[in-house]
Amino acid sequence: MLRQPAVAGYFYQGTAEALRSQVRSFVTPDLHRIPALGILSPHAGLMYSGSVAGAVYSHIKLPDTFVLIGPNHTGLGAPVSLMAKGRWETPLGSVLIDELLAGSILGKSRLIREDSLAHLKEHSLEVQLPFIQYFKPTFKIVPVQMMDTRLETCLDLGKAIADAIVERRSTRGGEEDAGVLIVASSDMSHYVSAETAKRKDHLAIKEILKLDAEALYSVVREEDISMCGYGPAVAMISACNLLGATTAKLVKYTNSGEVSGDFDKVVGYAGIVVS
């Protein structure tokens, strides 16, 4: 199945030349890149969140496969939807799904369903692709959308991903990262003042930097932090912990007011690298 771009020309520029130029304005090509197990990257329109996503992708070594986990904004599809076959297209080209890794993840959880409907109109994973494509012409993805964000579901997904990566390592001679990066796609607080967003978002960021998946889940719910991808973030952190993560670094934090000039109702964006 070919998954056509849903938000080209809307969330990001709609032609290859214009999109490449747009991404170029957000990345830093000469940075020292570090190996990573996972990242947190935003998914708003690139004009608002592109500087944060660009900073994150500029900081890391890009592997051969990316497990992309995003929140389901559309309400379509299964509670946890993994698209296991086919390819995704953006103006910068097509990206194949890693069918072997996708099948392995599916086989390690009773909660994940093979489903493409959830992915057809959803933007949270699509907007990650231009940044990867800018730096790396050939790679594969495993796309996962989460509508069910119960803690047990987040941890189950994280374990399934980690177990599949461990299995992949064992068949590839135990290489350290086995060519896989786990991407949690999430914006932070929505439509609150910049001051409130910064205060609440840093409560969540604090737990991510501690690599405490359950504490992140708790603080988001207890403090009513409107972080749309907290489920994917919890799953990513739990997977990275099982894979031996020891550190997390905040690369950049900002909000939409820095672009729009409206600081009364902003959306926050954080970029974090887990290694």
Torsion of CA 67, 68, 69, 74, to 10 degrees: -140
In sign, the C-alpha dihedral spanning 107, 239, 33, 69 is positive
The secondary structure of residue 110, as a DSSP letter, is S
The contacts of residue 224 (CB under 8 Å, 6+ apart) are: 200
Residues β-bridged to residue 182: 38, 67
The contacts of residue 258 (CB under 8 Å, 6+ apart) are: none
Note whether 39 and 73 are within 8 A (CB). Answer: no
* Segments forming the whole domain that contains residue 106: 2-274
The contacts of residue 219 (CB under 8 Å, 6+ apart) are: 203, 204, 206, 207, 225
Overall size of the chain counted in residues: 275
Alpha carbon distance 91, 4 (integer Å): 10
- Which pairing describes strands 140-146 and 65-71: parallel, antiparallel, or unpaired? parallel
* CA 209 to chain CA mean position, Å: 16
Average pLDDT value over all residues in the chain: 96
The string of pLDDT tens digits covering residues 150-181 is 999 999 999 999 999 999 988 876 555 448 99
Alpha carbon distance 264, 174 (integer Å): 50
Alpha carbon distance 241, 239 (integer Å): 5
pTM for the whole thing?
0.97
Q: What per-residue confidence (pLDDT) applies to 177?
A: 46
The string of pLDDT tens digits covering residues 197-226 is 999 999 999 999 999 999 999 999 999 999
Residue whose tokens read 């032609």: 15
Domain count, the chain: 1
Alpha carbon distance 73, 164 (integer Å): 26
Residue 267 belongs to a domain with what CATH number?
3.40.830.10
Question: For 188-260, where are the alpha helices, taking DSSP H only?
Answer: 194-209, 213-222, 230-242, 257-260
Q: What per-residue confidence (pLDDT) applies to 112?
A: 98
Report residues of the chain scoring pLDDT below 50.
177-178
Residue (of 79, 38, 35) closest to 165 by Cα position: 38
